[in-house]
């Protein structure tokens, strides 16, 4: 790393630490924010989006990223997830041609997460998609339940060019096994094998562990850190979505990220598992057009006025002192 690159990295870390600690008052978000905003330019756009949220502007400053649901199929039936537990949307796999079209039509986006309400490693073209996005200069990060990480898949993940893999682990031991229906200790061996494959070739791939925090996992938080801090590059906690009266506007509408569903429709938010908050179609529009389009601005305007749409009015997050809410 050159002198100027190292200087930028050090200064951005300092800026983000100040934002997380003194503005958001959530110092535990420092690492996550640096992942999303690693350069001065990205920090500038992130601050601009936050400013628009704070002052109540119906436009967003800059679309930085998008979640792209390459499939909403999953091989697990987790207790806290609507997939395989009542989701009404048809199970779909996005065609590679549509994925390619979306990447091509939306240059300038900083990173893409090929994941939403499904297991991305179930898609036969997953690694082809990652390779194509990388060829266009797009950073790729994805989340997986880790159950498909055999030797071949581990090697492909490491060689794919993905910047970061996040493995979902909800609870320790029998808690995880009960919640997710897959043996915790088998999953741990798979993650350890992935780390070994990565380290053997000196790959820059970062491995994260993520846990959804709710009443069944809350008591495992400290143990999670103890068991995984020597394995993972980062351990993160995410509060579960729970029904509850919304009392303030949602930061997510301004954050700089949007969600493309498997059929190409675009939703306002990652919490919209049924695709009820559709604001555009990536097959017919660019994501930047949708991001500041009429429907998206109508949602922002409703939140500014405190007149929350039905999809938003009862959306809340699990309350605990152990983890910060994401959307407020």
Does residue 325 sit within a domain?
A: no
Please say if the pLDDT value at position 279 is more than 60: yes
| pLDDT confidence of residue 168 | 95
Does residue 222 sit within a domain?
A: yes
pLDDT in tens, 19-40: 778 787 777 777 778 778 888 8
| pLDDT confidence of residue 4 | 63
Percentage above 90 pLDDT, the chain: 60
User: Does residue 14 sit in the same domain as residue 121?
Assistant: no
Does residue 328 sit within a domain?
A: no
pLDDT in tens, 69-97: 999 999 999 888 888 888 888 999 999 99
| pLDDT confidence of residue 148 | 98
Predicted confidence band at 319 (pLDDT cuts at 50, 70, 90)?
low
pLDDT in tens, 281-305: 999 999 999 999 999 999 999 999 9
* Contact in structure between 167 and 191 (CB atoms under 8 Å): yes
Q: What is the DSSP letter of 121?
A: G
User: Does residue 285 sit in the same domain as residue 312?
Assistant: yes
User: Does residue 171 sit in the same domain as residue 280?
Assistant: yes
Does residue 324 sit within a domain?
A: no
User: Does residue 12 sit in the same domain as residue 143?
Assistant: no
Q: Which two tokens stand for residue 193?
A: 């094998």
Predicted confidence band at 328 (pLDDT cuts at 50, 70, 90)?
low
| pLDDT confidence of residue 270 | 87
Look at residues 55, 77, 94 and tell me which one is the last residue of a structural domain.
55
User: Does residue 35 sit in the same domain as residue 168?
Assistant: no
- Which of 104-108, 119-123, 195-199 is least confident? 104-108
Number of separate domains in the chain: 2
User: Does residue 110 sit in the same domain as residue 175?
Assistant: yes
User: Does residue 191 sit in the same domain as residue 303?
Assistant: yes
| pLDDT confidence of residue 327 | 55
Range of the domain at 25: 3-55
Residue 131 maps to which CATH number?
Answer: 3.20.20.70
User: Does residue 148 sit in the same domain as residue 28?
Assistant: no
| pLDDT confidence of residue 102 | 96
Look at residues 55, 75, 96 and tell me which one is the last residue of a structural domain.
55
Does residue 99 sit within a domain?
A: yes
| pLDDT confidence of residue 35 | 79
The 3-class SS string of the chain reads CCHHHHHHHHHHHHHHHHHHHHHCCCHHHHHHHHHHCCCHHHHHHHHHHHHHHHHCCCCCCCCCEEEECCECCCCCCCCCCCCCCCCCCCCCECCHHHHHHHHHHCCCCCEEECCCCCCHHHCCCHHHHHHHHHHCCCEEEEEECCCCCCHHHHHHHHHCCCCEEEEECCCCCHHHHHHHCCCHHHHHHHHHHHHHHHHHCCCCCEEEEEEEECCCCHHHHHHHHHHHCCCCCEEEEEECEEECCCCCCCHHHHCCEEEECCCCEEECCCCCCCCCCEEEECCCCCHHHHHCCHHHHHHHHHHHHCCCCHHHHCEEECCCCCCCCCCC
Does residue 327 sit within a domain?
A: no
pLDDT in tens, 222-276: 999 999 999 999 998 888 767 778 888 898 999 999 999 999 999 998 888 889 9
| pLDDT confidence of residue 73 | 95
User: Does residue 119 sit in the same domain as residue 259?
Assistant: yes
User: Does residue 267 sit in the same domain as residue 145?
Assistant: yes
| pLDDT confidence of residue 141 | 92
pTM score: 0.89
| pLDDT confidence of residue 325 | 64
Neighbours of 233 (CB within 10 A): 14
Mean pLDDT of the chain: 89
Does residue 287 sit within a domain?
A: yes
User: Does residue 35 sit in the same domain as residue 102?
Assistant: no
User: Does residue 49 sit in the same domain as residue 29?
Assistant: yes
Please say if the pLDDT value at position 127 is more than 70: yes
| pLDDT confidence of residue 27 | 77
Q: Which two tokens stand for residue 62?
A: 């800059």
Does residue 159 sit within a domain?
A: yes
């Amino acid at each position: 790393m050159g002198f100027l690159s190292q200087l930028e990295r050090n200064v951005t870390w300092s800026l983000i630490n100040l934002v997380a600690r003194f503005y958001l008052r959530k110092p535990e978000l420092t690492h996550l924010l640096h992942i999303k905003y690693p350069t001065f330019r990205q920090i500038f756009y992130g601050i601009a989006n936050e400013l628009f949220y704070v002052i109540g502007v119906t436009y967003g400053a800059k679309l930085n990223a998008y979640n792209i649901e390459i499939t909403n199929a999953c091989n697990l039936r987790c207790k806290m997830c609507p997939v395989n537990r009542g989701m009404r949307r048809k199970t779909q796999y996005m065609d590679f041609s549509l994925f390619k079209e979306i990447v091509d039509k939306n240059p300038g986006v900083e990173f893409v997460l090929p994941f939403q309400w499904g297991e991305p490693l179930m898609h036969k073209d997953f690694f082809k998609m990652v390779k194509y996005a990388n060829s266009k200069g797009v950073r790729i990060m994805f989340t997986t339940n880790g159950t498909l990480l055999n030797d071949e898949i581990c090697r492909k993940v490491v060689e794919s060019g993905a910047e970061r893999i996040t493995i979902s682990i909800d609870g320790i031991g029998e808690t995880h096994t009960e919640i997710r229906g897959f043996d915790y200790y088998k999953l741990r061996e798979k993650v350890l094998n992935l780390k070994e494959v990565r380290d053997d070739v000196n790959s820059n791939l970062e491995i994260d562990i993520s846990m959804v925090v709710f009443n069944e996992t809350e008591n495992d938080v400290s143990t999670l850190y103890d068991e995984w801090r020597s394995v993972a590059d980062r351990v993160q906690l995410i509060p579960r979505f729970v029904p509850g009266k919304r009392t303030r506007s949602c930061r997510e509408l301004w954050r700089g990220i949007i969600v493309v569903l498997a059929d190409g429709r675009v939703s306002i938010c990652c919490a919209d598992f049924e695709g009820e908050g559709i604001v555009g179609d990536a097959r017919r529009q660019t994501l930047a057009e949708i991001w500041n389009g009429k429907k998206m601005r109508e949602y922002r305007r409703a939140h500014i006025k405190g007149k929350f749409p039905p999809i938003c009015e009862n959306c809340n997050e699990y309350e605990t002192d152990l983890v910060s809410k994401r959307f407020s």
